Structure 1
Amino acid sequence: MEEIMIALKNIQKELDEQKSEIRKSADKVTERVTQNINKILEEKFLKLQDQHDKLKEKVENQEKRIYFLEKQARQRNVVFFGIEEKESSYDNLQNNIVSFIKKYFNTDIELRDIQEVRRVGKKGDRPRPIIVIFSTLGIKINIMKNKGLLKDTQYYLKEDYPLQVLKKRRELLEQAKIEKEKGNDVRIKYDKLVILKSNNKRSLPTSPENTLTAECQSKNNTNTQAHKKNRTQKSNKPVQRSNSLSEGGIKPSMLNFLVNKNINNTTTEQKNDEKTSSI
């Protein structure tokens, strides 16, 4: 009976060892499968990432090209605002624009100088703006140079910017206000903010830092003025004249030099007298 129990225990022990080995082998297989799966997924992810980067670069290049083409397409455009909306046809609108430019800009312009005109936006109470495409860039430049002639009228004109540039210019307006508050003369040219010069005459916005700086400057100015005042008072004191000089007062530096020279001579004579007496 005991032998049977011992045999059963041995069998149970062997079964337990086999179970543990099976579990270990199963864990190893699972680990290897997981590593292989991760490796395959990582390779696929890298390929997808590479494709994504290439597509992103292509999209960016395409956006740049579209932006450049749109900029070139709008290069000869001018947007007119405030012109009454009374035209009944395209020809009528074109003739109105030619008459308007001749009247306010004193420019000899003809229908052949205009490539296209069109109103933009929804029709409402106010007249819609008119986009005018000129046949040459030179005509557009001359018109933009003389836009100040519309200063005292209800009309005005602007560049025809792409939507991206308009958005960028709105963002730059806030930055331009900050620079103007600092006293800088700024201009927005297309989609960039240009600081022309610094205007020191304008007062800076008040702040604790500016107040402390102003107090320090005033103290320095006061100390400087007091120092200058003391110097002028010292220079106004009467200067002793020497009989050996016929004209003019002796400068303080000359007085010091003479006094030091006399003292040195006196001490030298005293030393010589002492030596003589000792002999």
Structure 2
Amino acid sequence: MEELMNMLKKIQSELDEQKNTIIKNGEMVTEQVTRNINSNLDQKFAILESKYENLKDKLDNQEKGLYFIEKQVRQRNIVFFGIQENETNYFNLENNMIYFIKKYFSLELDKRDIQEARRIGKKGDKARPITVTFTTLGTKINILKQKNTLKDSGYYIQEDYPQNILEKRRELKEQVKIEREKGNLAIVKYDKLVFLQKNKESTTKNKRMLSTSPENNPITNKGKESQASKKNKSQTSVGRSSSFSDGALKPGILSFLTTKDSNTTAQDNMNKKNSN
């Protein structure tokens, strides 16, 4: 009976050892599988992240390309607002724009100067804006320089911006108001806020006004007095020289005359002796 109990205990001990071994092996397998899974996931995630970054870079480059292309396409455009919508075809619209530009901007254009003219937006009760594309950038600039001629006329013009740029410009204009309240000079240039330096000419002008004028500058006056004194001395010296030449003979001439008289006297004496 005792032997049977020992055998049972031995069997139980072996079963416990096998159980522990199985548990350890299971933990090791689980850990290894987890590591493998994590490694695979990390590799796949790294690949996906790399692809995402590449796609993001490509998308950014494409957006920049589209941004510059759209900016280039609209570079020679002007949008006209308030012009009555009474044209019946494209050629009427083109002629109306040529007449309008001549009337308000005094520019003689013909159809070759307009690449395209079109209404934008859905037709409704109000006159739709007109986008005009000019063949040269110079024509657009000349018109924009004279946009103040439309003041109080019911018409106005502006550059042609994409919708997203228009929204950004509205936000930036609010920022401009805030900056000007702070005393900063700021403007909106396309889709960026640009800060301007204060007018240097006015500062320079104020400095010149504060500086001593030449009339009140003692150093300048002293210099002038010195120059006048030198000039007077020079004139006095010249006067003395001229008076000397007018009132007396120079030493060289006097010596010449004296020598000549002596020679004449000696010659006369010699002639007298020979005659005797």
Tell me whether the two structures share a fold, i.e. TM-score over 0.5.
yes
Alignment of 1:13-162 (within 5 A): 13-162=13-162
Counterparts of 2:19 and 2:175 in 1: how far apart (Å)? 74
Counterpart position of 1:188: 188
Counterparts of 1:147 and 1:186 in 2: how far apart (Å)? 21
Partner amino acid for 1:39? S
Counterpart position of 1:263: none
Structure 1 contact 183–198 (Cα < 8 Å) conserved? no
Q: How far is the alpha carbon of 1:162 from its aligned partner?
A: 1.8
Partner amino acid for 1:116? E
CA displacement, residues 126-178 of structure 1 (integer Å, 9 cap, x when unaligned)? 21000000011110111111111111210000000122321221220221121
More helix by share: 2
Task: Choose 1 or 2 for highest CA Rg.
Answer: 2
Task: Flag as ranges the 4+ runs of structure 1 deviating above 4 A.
Answer: none
TM-score (norm. length: structure 1): 0.69
Q: How far is the alpha carbon of 1:195 from its aligned partner?
A: 2.7
Q: How far is the alpha carbon of 1:70 from its aligned partner?
A: 0.4
Counterparts of 1:44 and 1:86 in 2: how far apart (Å)? 63
Counterparts of 1:113 and 1:4 in 2: how far apart (Å)? 116
TM-score (norm. length: structure 2): 0.70
CA RMSD for the aligned pairs?
A: 1.3
Counterparts of 2:185 and 2:41 in 1: how far apart (Å)? 57
Percentage identity across paired residues of the two chains: 60
CA displacement, residues 98-150 of structure 1 (integer Å, 9 cap, x when unaligned)? 00000000001111100000001122222100000001111011111111111
Give the gaps of 5 or more residues in structure 1.
200-279
Partner amino acid for 2:157? L
The alignment covers a number of residue pairs equal to: 199
Q: How far is the alpha carbon of 1:186 from its aligned partner?
A: 2.5
Counterparts of 1:154 and 1:9 in 2: how far apart (Å)? 109
Counterpart position of 2:217: none
Counterparts of 1:6 and 1:173 in 2: how far apart (Å)? 95
